[in-house]
């Protein structure tokens, strides 16, 4: 079923969701990401709060910084996300 909510309301809903991401399940994170993608809403820095592979929120990740690249290892699945530092 398609969402009939306007884009502004969905942006507010997404913002409220990410305020308390530590207590969310991977299924809920996947659902919110799909909702944002359907309305073409960019998550920007919020996408760095959860694993790209298993959608589990980073509770205590392994973080390494080398050559201006930040590597975050997921404790759940072992996937390594890498981002350039500014």
d(CA 56, CA 22): 9
Backbone conformation region of residue 41, classed left if phi is above 0, alpha if psi is from -120 to 50, else beta: beta
Positive or negative torsion for Cα 72, 82, 37, 14: positive
Q: pTM of this prediction?
A: 0.85
Q: Where are the domains of the chain?
A: 7-84
pLDDT tens track, the chain, 86 positions: 455 889 999 999 999 999 999 999 999 999 999 999 999 999 999 999 999 999 999 989 999 999 999 999 999 999 999 999 98
């Amino acid at each position: 079923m398609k969402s009939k909510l306007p884009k502004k309301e969905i942006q507010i809903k997404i913002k409220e969701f990410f305020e308390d991401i530590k207590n969310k399940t991977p299924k809920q994170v996947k659902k919110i990401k799909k909702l944002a993608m359907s309305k073409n809403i960019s998550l920007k820095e919020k996408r760095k709060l959860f694993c790209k592979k298993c959608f589990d929120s980073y509770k205590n990740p392994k973080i390494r910084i080398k050559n201006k690249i930040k590597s975050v290892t997921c404790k759940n699945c072992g996937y390594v996300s890498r981002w350039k530092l500014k």
